[in-house]
Chain A
Amino acid sequence: MYGARVLSVDVEVDRREFTVRAALEVADGERVALFGPSGAGKTTVLEAIAGLVTLRGHVSLSDRVLTSTSEHVDVPPWRRRVGLLRQDPGLFPHLSVRANLLYARSAREDELAELAAQLDIAALLSAMPARLSGGQRHRVALGRLLLAHCDALLLDEPFASLDAALRRSLTALVKDISSERMVASVLVTHQLADAQAFADRLAVIDEGLILQIGAPDEVVLRPASRRVAELVGYLGFVPAGGAPGSAAGVVAGVHPERVIAGADPDRGLVVTGTVTAARPSGAGWEADVLAGDATFTCRLPSRPVAQLAVTVLDPPYFAADGVLLTPGQHIRSA
C-alpha cells in the first residue's frame, strides 16, 4: 500500500515566447488534467515536475522536496520517482516486453504476472516492442511505470495518436489504476473530452498561465473568463441584451452543445438570428448564426430554418473586461 503523498508545484520556467507560471497541488490519488491549446506550456509544467527543465520555484512530492530554488535543492530526474508517459511510449526496442517491464531497479518480478494480466499484456511478455500495436505499446509503457513504483504519474498526451475508442479505453484503464494505487496523476491534453473523462479537476492553461482550476463541469459551465470559455469550446458570445436589465458590454457565452431550438426564456437566454451557414454534424446539424453584430455556432437536432430563435441554456455571462459574472450579477449591475 502506498503512503499519503501530495504533489505540490509552484514554478516559473522561461521559454522563448513567454514564461510559464504554474501553481498546482495534486492530492494523493487525485487526477488533474492540464488542458490548453498547443504551445500553451502544458508539457513544460510536466517537465518541470520531472526535473527535465531549468526552473525557478518549488516542486515537492509528499515530504520530499524535488526542486527548491530558495533551498538550492534540485533532485535529479533519476531520483524523483516520477513516471512520465508521453505520446511515444518510449519502449526500449532492444529489450523484450518483459525486460522493458522490469527495467526499473525498483521493479519486482513477483508483481509482474498480476500487472500483466490487469493490463492484458500477459501473452506479449516475450515479444519485442516492434511487434506490438500502438495500444499494446502504451499498456506496456504504463505497466513499466507502475512496476517502477512511481510516486506520481505524468501523462503527456499519451494516447493522442490512437483512435477514439482505444483512447477512451486506455484513459479509463489509467484512471482505474491510478485510483486503485492512490497515485497522484497529471494528464496533459488539448482534447477536452479526454480531460473530462480522466480528471477530478481540470486546470486550463494558456500562454504559460493557469487561468482556472476546478471540477471539469464547473470549468466548462462557468468558465472564469471569456478566454477560458473560448478554450473549453464556447463558439460565440452574444450581447446579454436579451436578458432583462443587462448591463452594457455584458455578453453571454454560447456553447454549441448547450443550445436548443425555440424560445424558452425559463431555461436560458433567448437569441434570434439569421442562419448564415449550416452543415451536417454527427446525428444533427451545425449552424452559424448572425445575431445583431455577434455570431455564434450551435448544434441542432434538425436542419435549421433561415430565421432562427434558439435558447442558450443557462449561459455564463461575462463583463466587458471578459471576467465571469456570478449568477444574477449581470442583471444587478445594470
Chain B
Amino acid sequence: MSIAGAAIIWIALLGPVITLITRMSPGDIWTALTGAGNLDPLLTSIESGLVTLGVLLLLCTPLAWMLARDRLPFPRIWEAGILCSLLLPPLVIGLLLVFMVGPYTWVGSVLDWVHQSATNTFLALVIAEVYESAPYYVLGARAAFASVDTGLEQQAGLLGDRPGRVFRRVTLPMAAPGLAMALAVSWARAIGAFGAVVIIAYHPFGIPMQIFTTLQETGLYSALPYALVLLVVALPLPMAAYVWSARAERRRRG
C-alpha cells in the first residue's frame, strides 16, 4: 500500500475528530465550560476513571498474570469467560448489573446495610466503568505478561531471587510497556463508558452522560464542546503510555 493510500485511511479514521474540531468555535467551548457547574461532569469522569484504573490494577493484574502463566486449571474456560464479558454490549452489561447489584439483590441489601447503593451513585458509576473496561485490561495485560520470556524469570530465580523479587525486577519491568498500553485502552473505555452507565449510574453525571443529556435537552451543537473535553481529558494518558512504551523499547534496543 502506498503512503497516499495509508494517508487516506488515516484521515478517514480521524474524520470524527476533524469534524469535531472544525465544527466548533472557541466561543462555543468557552460558553459550555464556564457555566456554573459545567466542569463537574469532567471531574466526576476523571475521579471515577482513576478509581476504575486502581481497581483494574489491583484485581485484574494478578488474574492476567495467572492466565499468561497457565497457573489456572482449564485455562481456556477462564479465557472464554473474559471473552464473554468482552462481547456483551455495554447496554446489556448495565441491564444485567441491575439484576446483579441493584437494590433488590443480596448485594444491594449488603450495600444498603452499610448505607451504600450500586445504582445512581459514584460507586455505581465505578462499577459500570469497571465492567466495561476490565476485559480490555485483562486481555491486554495477559498479552503483556505472556510476552515475557519465562526463561528470563527462571534465570533470575537461579541468580537468587525469590518469585516476588523476580516479578518486581524482571516480569513487571519487561511487561510494563504492554501493561501501560492495556491500561491506556482501559482508561479510554472507562472514561467513555456509556451503555452500562446510562442504566445503573444515570447520576452522578460523567462527561458521556453530560453529552447525552445536553444532546437531548438543547441539541447537537451544545453537546459538541463536551465531546471535545472528553477527547482532551482522555487523550493524555494513552498518549503518554504510547510515548513511554516507545521510549522503553528504544532503550532496550540500545
Contact = CB atoms under 8 A, between A and B. Distances in A.
Contacts of B151: 86, 88, 90
A104 B158 CA distance: 9
Interface in A62-120: 76-84, 86, 88, 90, 92-94, 103-106
Interface string B63-84: 0000000000000000000000
A94 B245 CA distance: 12
Interface residues of A, number: 29
Contact of A131 (B155, B163, B254): B254
B162 to A, nearest CB: 5
Main secondary structure of the interface of A (DSSP, over half): loop
A121 to B, nearest CB: 15
B32 interface: no
Contacts of A78: 157-163
Main secondary structure of the interface of B (DSSP, over half): helix
A144 interface: yes
Given A52-B154, A77-B154, A128-B251, A94 B174 contact: yes
A84 B251 contact: no
B219 interface: no
Contacts of B169: 103
Interface in B231-254: 248, 251-254
B156 A103 contact: yes
B152 A92 contact: yes
A155 B39 CA distance: 64
A128 B253 contact: yes
Interface string A130-174: 110000000000001100100000000000000000000000000
Given A77-B154, A130-B252, A130-B254, 12 more contacts: A52-B154, A76-B162, A88-B151, A90-B149, A90-B154, A92-B152, A92-B174, A93-B252, A103-B159, A128-B251, A129-B254, A144-B159
Interface of B: 149, 151-152, 154-163, 169-170, 173-174, 248, 251-254
Interface of A: 50, 52, 76-84, 86, 88, 90, 92-94, 103-106, 127-131, 144-145, 148
